[in-house]
Every structure is written in C-alpha cells, then in structure tokens.
Structure 1
Amino acid sequence: MRARLPLLLLLAGTAVLYLWRLGDSGWANAYYSAAAQAGAESWSAWFFGATDPAGAITVDKTPAATWVMGLSARLFGVNAWSILVPQALMGVASVWLLYATVRRTAGEAAGLIAGVVLALTPVAVLMFRFNNPDALMLLLLVAGAYCTVRATEKASVRWLVLAGVAVGFAFLAKMLQAFLVVPAFALVYLVFAPAALLRKVWHLGAALGALVVAGGWWVLAVELVPAGSRPYIGGSQSNSVLELALGHNGLGRLTGEEIGSVGGGGRGGGWGRLLGAEMAGQIAWLLPTALVLLVAGWWAGRKGERVGLALWGGWLVVTAAVFSFMNGIIHAYYTVALAPAIGALIGIGAVALWRKRQEPVAAAALSGALAVTALQAYLLLLDWSTVLAAVVLILGLLAAVGLFLVTVAPAVVVVPVALVAAVLGPGAYSVATAVTPHSGAIPAAGPARGNQPGGLVLAGPGGTVTNVGRMGGGMGGLLHAPTPGEELVRLLRDNDGFTWAAAAVGSNNAAGYQLGSGEPVMAVGGFNGTDPAPTLAEFQEMVRSGRIHYFLGGAGMPAETGSDASERIVEWVEATFTATTVDDVTVYDLTAGAQP
C-alpha cells in the first residue's frame, strides 16, 4: 500500500481537479449535450448520434462519445453532472494508463512524472471537464499505447491486436485524428519487438485488421441502413459517413477544402503555430522541454527507455506536424492530443538523465531543460500574473544552476524546487481553468477573459486566426446555444401530436431550445446550417403533414460552400407564415396558415 501511495495521491488529486465545481459549466457544449439527451430518450437516436430524439440529423462526428453520455443520462437523468462526469473519469483513467505505460519502459518515477504533467496540462483539464469527443479519444489512444508497449515486450500479437482495437474505437470518437498515432505504434513494434521481420509484419497486418473492424463496423451498419430509415449524417453533403470521415473530418482539415464550412482555411501556420498566442497557453508550457528531453533522453536512455521515447516521440512529432501545417479549420483545444506524449517524454527523459547526472553532459541537459521550462512559463504567465511569472522564473533558474552543479548542490533541496518550478505555471493555469465555467462550441483553457469563449478558429497565414461571427436566429448562434425564457418553454412543451416541437437553423440554436424545453427540436442544416437536411421540398412536406409545430429564429450565416437549403427554408417560412415574438425570439406557428 505504501508503495502505491504516490499513485493514489496523484489519481485522487486529479479526480478533485477534474470534478471540482464541474456543474458550473452547465450544458458545456450544448451540441453534444442535446445528442446525449436524445440518446437518453431514443435508442435509435443513441445509436446514430442524432441531435434530437426524433432523429432528424446526427452530430458531425462518429457517436462513441455521445454513446457514453447518453447511457449516463439514461441512468442518472439528463443534467450537467451526468453528461460531464464521464469525461472527468476518463481523465483520471487516462492519467492512470499513462503512468502504467511509462512505468513499464522507464520505471515508477518516470510514470509518476508523466501522470502529473498530463493531469496539470491546462488543455487537458479543460477537455476532461468538457463534453467534446476529445476525452474519449485520448483515453483510447493512451490505452492503445499501453497495448503497444506490452506487445513490443514479447512480440505479442494479442496485445498488438488490442492496440488496433483501441485505435479503431478512438476513430469512432473523433474519426481520422485518431490515426495520427498509428505511424509511431507501427514503427516501434517493427524496430523493437523481439521477432523476425516477417512475423512482425504479419502481426501488424492483424492489428490493422482489428483497427478496421473496430472502427468500421458502425460505418458499415450506417451505410447499409436506407437513408429514409435513419437520421441524415450531419457534416456531409451526400448523407454519407464515408464523406464525413474523409472530407469534413478528414482530408478537408488538411487541405482546407471543407465543403459546407462557413469559413475557409488558410495556409498552414508552420511550427510556430503551437507556440503562438492562440495555442501556447493550452499546451506549450512544457512542449520545448519535451523536445529537449526526447533528444537528450535518447542519448542517456537504456533500451526500454528508448522504446518509450520512440513511441511518444513519434506520437508528438507526427501530431504536432499535422496541427502546425494543416490548412483547414483547427481549434486550440485539439492540442490536448499532444499532452500524453509531452508528459511521457518529460518523465522518461528526466529519469534517464538523472541516472547519469554525474556526467557533465547529462547535468547540462537537465539544467538546460529546466531553464527552458522556467523561461517558457515566465513568458506565458506575463499577461496573467507578473508576480507568479517572476517566482517561476527565479525558482527555475536557481534549480537549473543546482542541477548543473549536482556534485555540490544537495539533491534533497534541488529536486523539490525543480519540480515546483516545472509545474507551478501550468498548474496555476489549470486551477484557473477548473474554476472558470466553460460553454459553447470552442472552449479555451485558462482564467476567465473578456474574449472567452472565442470564435471559430481558422488556420490563417503565419499562424493567424480568425473569429467567425455568430449566426443569426433568435437568441442563439453558430457557436453558442440560447437559453429559452419561461413563456417560450411553455409554448414548446405544448407539443401533442408533433414529431418536432420546433425547427431552428443550426445545431446550437436547436440544442438550446431542446435542452431548455425537453422537447425535440430539428436542427435545420446541421451544425452551421450548410447541410442539405432537410431540403426545402422535404421541409414543406413535413409542415404539410403536421410534423413540425414552430419555426424559431431567422436566417443563418450564408454558406461559402455547401447547401443553401436552410436559407431557402427561412425565406419560405418568412414569406408564408406570420411572425410573432416570444421572449425576444421570432416564432412562426407552422400550423396557423399562411399570412395574407
């Protein structure tokens, strides 16, 4: 028990940080909360990931994350805690799995350091307290790394197949982003597994097959169901999961050619993007340090440590390169995918160098790594707390000198000061993240600021970003869900005999009204109103057959690409029905007949 006490303290502290005042964020991302609500009421909506119980359209991701939230909502009711707690628990499990993975290659101390770094990475605190799909994806990818390490130890095809299964299910959480770790996993097994090359190639083929089955069964099931018997696939222009995976959530993110986007991408930002103002506070606290320790740790490391460095180094470099140079829409919170690799590299590299600390090169590398850490934290803290920035810089530089003069400075003093200097900056930023409620489609880690939450982040020249304005339509918007007033809620709940209590352009508009009233609300056009679901003819037929009671709000943002069906629907509604105002929302009663 005493041997496990540091791990238990780490997990307990992580749980407190991730669960403390979790309900303050309310519905967090109402888009996914509405899908969880729908899944709690309808098994069909749950399976397909529909945003409303009647199943008009799905979220623009594969639905594994909403499966978890939907089941939790079924068990514990539809509320903020039932939706957000699963993500927090995934965070605790990710820290534990990262510890276990690193421990197998570099020992207990390295595992604990890796776990602490992950737990205190600001963007990780943000996403494990939020209900985007990233939490589940990250947990599954760390599980895949654990299985890969186990497979590499004894050339075990069973463990390698399990790694493929984990990555495949991560695809069902966030599609092609999950595959960024595959090159690192495959290369580590090919280089380090103790078996003949042909046998290792066969094992990798089996793992690839497991990945395809684990990630593809749901895609196949959806493609086999007739379009009229399931919801429209949100984020696609042809009602196809394959188009969604390869286009909007796949190659389109790399090239910038995202059909249906409300804003185009720009040129990739280059390596400086991750260190720029938009992303640095999320992930860059220890990113330079991780790169230093990757190189220095490889020099100092043993074979097992090099296995870990190769795996996590490959994870970090490939993912960072894609994020740095992709031309499509990118959000700062995507960088949470880098956090496990950063933590692992710091844990493994620091332990490897500490073992050789009597050698001048190792001492200089340790000292330099800590100095880089202190300087980076100082720069990131300056616009928030100059006092804390100064404290971190002073402690870090003093500890860096102590690490360099390791034969003179007492380790019992230097090591604690070095650890405090390394985690104080991101730790304080993480606590500030935890006490700040977050909502909307694009959250950001850190203390509350006047510009939070931000707009739609588009990759631009030189790493610049653009905020896309909100969509019109009553009180809602493209990125933020409305909170309906009491009179509007009463109106929507008068829903006897209707499939949908109302329809509104954009998924966040619809989500706010649905969560507030508990009644199904159709998201016309999907997330940003640019999906051809429904078409004008289909919408007119649903109105004629008495399936939709009200239409809420007005026109959405004009589409640069994709369908203009939602604009045509709005024009028809405005020209055909009489508008009234309820709680500052424009309401059209679709059963009241046409206006003169």
Structure 2
Amino acid sequence: MTSATDPHPHPETETGTAASTDRPPSAPPAAPPDKAPRWSLPALLAILALAGVLYGWNLSGNSLNSFYSAAIYSGTQSWKAWFFGSLDAGNFLTVDKPPFALMVMGLSCRVFGFGTWQMMAPEIAAALGTIWILHASVKRYFGHVAAAVAALVLALTPITVAINRDNNPDTLLVLLMVGGAALALRAVRTDRLLPLIGSAVLFGLAFNTKMLQGYIALPAVFAVYVYASRLGWRKKAVNLALAAVALAVSSFWWATAVSLVPADDRPYIGGSTDGSAWNLIMGYNGLGRVLGGEGNGGGGGGGGSFAGTAGIGRMFNDVLGGQISWLIPFALLSLAAGLVLCGRAPRTDPTRAALALWGGWLVLHYLTFAMAEGTMHPYYTTALAPGIAALCGGGGVMLWRAFRGRDARWSWVLPTGLAVTGVWAVVLLRRATGWNTWLWPVVGVVMVLAIVGLFVFRTAASGTRLRLLRVSVAAALVAALAGPTAYAASPAFSATTGGMGGTNPTAGPSTGGGTGGPGGGRGGFAGGGPGGEMPGVTRQGSGQAGGELPGGNGGGNGQMQPGGGTGELPQGGAPGGANGEFPGGGTAPGGTDTDAGTGTGTTRGGPGGGGGMGGSLDSALISYLEKHQDGAKWLLAVSNSQSAGQLILSTHKPVISMWGFTGSDRAMTLARLKELVKNGELHYIQLGGGGMGGNSTLNQEITTWVQKNGTAVKASDYGTTASTGSTSQTTTSTIYRLDPSDVT
C-alpha cells in the first residue's frame, strides 16, 4: 500500500487513489512493487503471442534475402564457410558482414535441415527475446504499465516487423544491443561488475553481427555508467577497464582469427578493398557508412538513395516516415519532460539513468542514420525502435503522473504529445494514397475524443468518472498505435506491400519517391512501388534510369542489370522448384534465353531464396553447366553476389561472385582466374556485355583474356532455341568455357 507522502508511489496505483494528486510532479516514478499485478504477465504473453504471429505468419511464402540464404546454405556444407561467412561453399568470397548472425542461423539449419523455418526460427526467437528483455528492464525502473506499453510499441513498430520476417542480421543485432543496455542499467543499479562485463560482451557480439553499427549506443552506456554509478571514481575506472578488455575480446576475436589465416588459405573478405577483415571494419562497415565512399553510395547516391537524402529530417521522409517515425515526437517529448520531472533527484537516481540511456540510444541512432552519406537501407532504422518504445512507456507514465498532479502547467504536456502524435499519424496515413483511406479519419476522431476525455475527467478519483478516464487513456493508446499496427500487419497478411522481399524489407504501402518531411529530400526507393525507384531500375515506359546500382548499369523497361548482367527484377520471390516456383509461393524471374548463354531464363532452386537482385539463368543452361562441370570446384563465376546467391540456392553448388555485393570488390584478379582455370577448379565464367562492375582495370583484363582464350557457350549447345517474346534488353551476358589448356 502506497502512502500519500511516499515520494516513489507505484504507477499502477495512481489512478485509483487521491494520493496521486498530492504528489509533486517532479518526483520520479517508483521501482515496481514486490508482487506484480495479476494482469502483468498475461499482458506480456499476449504481446509476445501477437508478435509471434506478425513475425511468423505465412513465413514460408516470404521472400528472404538470397545473399544471406546462400551463405547460410554454404555454411551447412562447409565448416570453413560457416566460420568465415562465405557466400559459397568453395570459399572464394565472404558476405560483406561479420558472420555471427549467419553462424546462429547456420547451426539451426545444420541441426534441422536447410529451409525457411529452420533458418528463421532463431531470428523469431531473438525478436521475441528482445521484447522480453525490454519489458523486464522498463518494468524495473518505470513499473508494469510502462513495461507493457514499451513491449507493445516495440512489437508493432512496422520496420521491426518487416525485418524480423527476414534473414538479415539486424534482428539479432538489436537483441544483443538491448541485452547490453539492460545489463548496463543493472550494473549502475547494483554496482556489480558482472553485469557490466556481460554488457560489454553483448555489445562485442553485436559488433560481430554488423560491426560499428553495434557500437552506436555505447557512448550513452558509458556516460550513464560514469555519471550515475554510486562507486568511487577509482573503482569505476577499474571496472570500465575490465569491461573494455571484455569488449575488445568479444569484438575482435573473429577479425583477429581471420588475419592469422594466410590470405591464400582464406576467402576474400567481401566489402573490403584488400581482402582483410580490418579494412572491412574501418571502411565499408565503419566510417564508410556515415561518410560515404567506395562501395557505400556516398553523397546520397547509390545505396544511400534507398532511404532518401541524408538530412536531419530523414526519419520523417516518404520512405522512412511510415516505417519508424510514428512515435518519435512523443518519445522525444517524453525524454525531455521526464528529465525535467526527475528534478533534483540524486545523481545516482536509477530512473534518470534509465531515461538518459534510452534517450541517448534514440538520439545517437537517429543522428547516425539521418546524417549517413553511405548505404542506408530503411530496415537499419529498426535499431531506433527499442529507444522509442522504452521512452514511450517509461516517459509516458511519467507524463501521466504529472498530468494527474496538482500543477496545472503539467496538465498540458501529455495531451500536447498525444495531439502531435495524432496529427503526425494522419499525415503519414494520408501519404499512402488509396490505402485504407478510412483509417486516418478514425484515428483523428478517436484521438480528439480521447484528449477531450483526459481533460474532462483529469481529477477523477473513483466511480464512473475514473472509468471514463481510463477509457480515454485506452482510446489515446489505440489511436496512437492504429497506424503503425496497420503497417505492421501488412507483411504477414497482405499480398501486396511496399517491401521488396528480403533485399530491402519494408512494411505497409509504397510511399517513396516524393518529398516528405523536413530535410527528408527525395524518397528514393520504398520497395519499388509507384513513385519509388530502385537504383539500377527504371519504371515501365519511363525511358530513364532511376539511378545505377553500384557496379552495375541502369536498365530500361523496368529491368535491372547489376554488374552488367541481365534479367528482370524479381517481383515475388526466389528461384524455386522444377517449374521455377518457390515452395512458399514465390516465383523466379522469368524469360527465355537468347543465343550464347544469355542469363535471362528461369532457374531451378530450393528453399531459402528470394529477394535477389541479379539476373538468372535458363534451367536448360544450368543443367548443361552441371553436366559439364567436369570435377571443377565451382560451377560458374558471375559478376555479383546477388546472382551468385540465387544460383547457389538453385543448384546447391558453389558459384563464384567475382565482385561482391556492390560490384566493387577486387576479389577476382586475372592471375587468380588463371590459377583457378589451370588447376581445373573453374571452367565457366559469365561476362556481361555492358561491363561487370568492380575495378575497371581488372574487368577489362579479365574480359579481354576470357574472350580471347575461352569458348562461348551457345544456346544450341544445351538445346534451347533463340528467345521469343522476351523483354527488350540493353545488355546481354555470355557464358565462356575455359580449360587448363587455355592458360598460357
């Protein structure tokens, strides 16, 4: 039982007691009671069940990222590929990320077999674990109501739902970072070393999931520990030094192990400029993401255009607004007001420490992603969601307490935050032209009625007026979450959404291509819907390319030719079974081949593909290559990792990606190619008539040598006649046969 004079009353008791009106608004919220209310655990389980449905419903029909799917499959075939994160089981080239997430999914597929569910089970478990950890952490500092709100907000964040249905590493990344933040807060509260060490280890594993992105929240963790811990400065310095050692070990063990393996005995590290993991850390997956540069689409071009132009308002533009921005204004208001409400609380106050950490988390991620000049995909912003959720839950409860207090000045803050949230929700919903047009008026009306109810019944202490006050609060919550919920439900329950499968997963309708939000600039690409253009892809009949894919060429007639290959953009999935169908219902890129082995036909395949961005090969040509592989380690060498990934999934054989994901890796040199051919490890190479991406000098050397010494594979060699009815092409690709005798 909480007394009227208790400076830390429990939030759940506030609406039913007169004591709430006697409390100064500056008092921080209390630690939760010893006994949780009966509804708390059922509410959490219900939220987890809802999240499980959103993340797993119709998952077998989902298009996964063939780039990562191929690496996971290769890891089931070779422990060396599993350790290095190789795209192919022959270990020519790795993916452009450290392999920790692939290792987890790969182990699942090792145990249960390779397939969509086997691959995605660890991802869904990680997503649910993130909700559980955030709920537990918020509950500790703000109470059960705040924890339930935070868990619900996180579960319903649209971009979080989209990425948690995909095999990108971001889901595991967020779990590790949230776990690290929760342990850091525990270290501040308990003054124990072990939670701090655990926090450092988790952030180090996050580094081995997406490198420097895993460190974005670390400055906030460090600052909160230094400021709020009750330990003396000498003890804090010792603890931080030990944590730094743990962070370094858990961060750099993989890169160190890779560097100890001679270059000739390891695959080329994808995304690097020299084949080393250290270069990948500092460049492509480090400062290159923020400053732009080689392979990172700097200056808002290339990969940067996936999320619109860099600028402080980027999170509110047409591309990202509907994915992540719904509750950012309310979260920032809750942060600022919460810190003020903490007033003159002691330096070690755990509530202020929690606000500062989650606020720092949100601000640091926001600024990093908003100002990034390099490659920026919408799904990166899922990392903002835990900070938004924690502030909406914890800060929202603090605003509620202040609203119910006697200081009339605070009675306007919560309604103002709700009003801004409602207005912004209406703006976002109206951007989606023709999509659920009934929703935005309902959101607006419900939010207005809820705010009116808050003012009318603000001082209610019991009876009907108190029940109506609770109804008003519930209505405000429903209005605030209706928009993001509608977006979040679309990946699981809608046949047509804005997302482009596993390559660039998003939720909700396509809204990209316009100018949205302050400083947002052109939306760029939001899944290829109306008005949204993908680099290297033109809209039907436009006659102009929407921008080039790094290392590739812009195509006409809605085609994409990364690295000079040809083939239509996949619309729904991956290479599939004998008829080109993916087991979950997706279809492979279609078309028929022209003479000389053009890569435009259907492919054969298995589970786990989809969302690829490269051209495909005719099934008859694939059969020909398999029949005439003649003991070679690799079936074929192609220009980029997207094409290679799809072919690996189609054939279950190693395929070389010569220039990596962006087409700028220098993995293949003429000397290396000659060595592979001379040793009989590679017989077939695909050349793109419009160039192959990568280093222009290497391209020209290899192209010239292959055309001079190789023999072109003709359609008549594998029993296919010239194409009929295929879409027009600006570029063709040709398969060449090379034998040891061709090396001079």
TM-score normalised by structure 2 residue count: 0.74
Identity of aligned residues (%): 40
Q: Could you report, residue by residue, the CA deviation over 1:27-78 in whole angstroms, capped at 9, with x for unpaired residues? A: x111111100110100000000000001001011111111112112212222
**Per-residue displacement from partner, 1:503-561 (whole Å, max 9, x unpaired)?**
110000111111011111011111122211120121122122221132235257665x8
Query: Match of 1:498?
Result: 632
Deviations 1:228-263 (A, max 9, x none): 111011111111111111011111122222x24566
Q: How far, CA to CA, are the matches of 1:31 and 1:417 in structure 2?
A: 43
- Between 1:197-206 and 1:472-481, the stretch displaced more is 472-481
Map 1:407-486 to 2 at 5 A: 407=459, 410-435=468-493, 436=497, 438-447=500-509, 451-452=528-529, 455-456=534-535, 468=549, 469=554, 470=560, 471=562, 472-475=564-567, 480-482=613-615, 484-486=617-619
Say yes or no: does 1:551 pair with 2:685.
yes
The equivalent of 1:93 in structure 2 is 129
Give the distance between the partners of 2:161 and 2:548, measured in 1 at CA: 24
Partner of 1:522: 656
Local SS of the residue matching 2:285: helix
Per-residue CA deviation, residues 184-217 of structure 1 (Å, 9 max, x unaligned), is 1111111111111221122122111111100111
* Corresponding residue of 1:461: none
Q: Describe the SS at the equivalent of 2:714.
A: strand
Alpha-carbon distance between aligned partners in 1 of 2:94 and 2:676, rounded to the nearest angstrom: 18
* AA matched with 1:425: G
Q: In 2, are the aligned partners of 1:125 and 1:430 still within 8 Å (CA)?
A: yes
Query: Residue 667 of structure 2 corresponds to which residue in structure 1?
Result: 533
Question: Match for 1:147 among 169, 183, 203?
Answer: 183
Post-superposition CA distance 1:100-137 (Å, at most 9, x none): 11111111111111111111001100111111111111
The AA in structure 2 aligned to 1:394 is V
Distance 2:426 2:161 in 1: 20
Corresponding residue number in structure 1 for 2:21: none
Q: Deviations over 1:380-433 (max 9, x none)?
A: 111233311111111112212222332366223102111111111000000013
Deviations 1:1-51 (A, max 9, x none): 76411111111111111000112124x111111100110100000000000
CA deviation string 1:336-362 (max 9, x = no partner)? 110000000000011112223223333
Shift of the 31–544 alpha-carbon distance from structure 1 to 2, 3 Å rule, reads same
Q: Distance in 1 between matches of 2:57 and 2:685?
A: 39
Structure 1 position 574 matched with structure 2 position 625: no
**1 or 2, which has the higher helix percentage?**
1
Q: Conserved in 2, the CA contact under 8 Å of 1:46 and 1:67?
A: yes
Cα distance in 2 for partners of 1:171, 1:212 equals 10
Kindly report the root-mean-square deviation, in angstroms, between the aligned alpha carbons of the 2 structures.
2.6
Q: 1:184-583, aligned counterparts within 5 Å? A: 184-257=220-293, 259-261=294-296, 265=300, 269-301=310-342, 303-359=349-405, 360-382=408-430, 383=432, 384-405=435-456, 406-407=458-459, 410-435=468-493, 436=497, 438-447=500-509, 451-452=528-529, 455-456=534-535, 468=549, 469=554, 470=560, 471=562, 472-475=564-567, 480-482=613-615, 484-494=617-627, 495-552=629-686, 554-555=688-689, 564-575=697-708, 576-581=710-715
Verify the 8 A CA contact 2:706 2:736 in the aligned structure 1: yes
Aligned twin of 2:70: 34
Specify every segment of 5 or more residues in structure 1 that has no aligned partner in the other structure, as ranges: 458-464
Q: Is the 8 A contact 2:163 2:506 kept in 1?
A: no
Alignment partner, residue 462 of structure 1: none
Instruction: Tell me, in whole angstroms, the C-alpha distance in 1 between the residues paired with 2:41 and 2:383.
Output: 27
Q: 1:9 is matched with which residue?
A: 46
1:121 touches 1:339 (CA, 8 Å); kept in 2?
yes
What's the secondary structure of 1:386's corresponding residue? coil
> Which sits farther off after the overlay, 526-535 or 311-320?
526-535
Give the 3-state SS of the residue equivalent to 1:271 in structure 2: coil
The residue type paired with residue 361 of structure 1 is R
Larger radius of gyration: 2
Could you say which residue in structure 2 is the equivalent of 1:20? 57
1:588 equivalent to 2:732? Answer no
Cα 1:82–1:467 change in 2 (3 A) is farther
Moved more, 77-86 or 244-253: 77-86
- State the AA in 2 paired with 1:154: T
Q: Which structure 2 residue ranges, 5 or more long, are not aligned?
A: 1-37, 512-526, 537-545, 555-559, 570-610, 724-732
Tell me whether 173-182 or 548-557 shows the greater mean CA deviation. 548-557
For residue 334 of structure 1, report the CA deviation from its aligned partner. Answer: 1.1
One-letter amino acid of the counterpart of residue 542, structure 1: L
Whether contact under 8 Å (2:81, 2:88) holds in the other structure is yes
Amino acid at match of 1:162: G
CA contact (8 A) 2:297 2:373 kept: no
- In structure 2, how many angstroms separate the alpha carbons of the residues matched to 1:366 and 1:147? 30
Shift of 1:444: 2.4
Contact kept, 8 Å, 2:315 with 2:321, in 1: the verdict is yes
Q: Distance in 2 between matches of 1:156 and 1:563?
A: 56
Q: C-alpha separation between the residues in 2 aligned to 1:499 and 1:138? A: 37
Q: Would the aligned equivalents of 2:296 and 2:374 in 1 still touch at CA under 8 Å?
A: no
Q: Which residue of 1 aligns with 2:575?
A: none
Deviations 1:259-286 (A, max 9, x none): 2456654697321111111211111111
Q: Distance in 2 between matches of 1:417 and 1:261?
A: 44
> d(CA) in 1 for partners of 2:625 and 2:503?
24
The question of 1:115 aligning with 2:179 is answered no
Q: Amino acid of the residue matched to residue 419 of structure 1?
A: L
1:567/1:24 CA distance change after superposition, 3 Å = farther
Q: CA deviation at 1:376?
A: 1.1
The 1-side partners of 2:194 and 2:695 are apart by 44
* Equivalence for 2:605: none
Q: Do the aligned partners of 1:502 and 1:551 also contact (CA within 8 Å) in 2?
A: yes
Counterpart residue identity of residue 168, structure 1: G
1:445 is aligned with what amino acid?
A
Which residue type is aligned with residue 210 of structure 1?
A
Deviates more, 1:525-534 or 1:298-307: 298-307
Q: TM-score, normalised by structure 1?
A: 0.92
Pair 1:392–1:154, CA change in 2 (3 A): same
**Per the alignment, do residues 515 and 323 of structure 1 end up closer, same or farther by CA in structure 2, a change over 3 Å counting?**
same
Distance in 1, matches of 2:533 and 2:636, equals 28
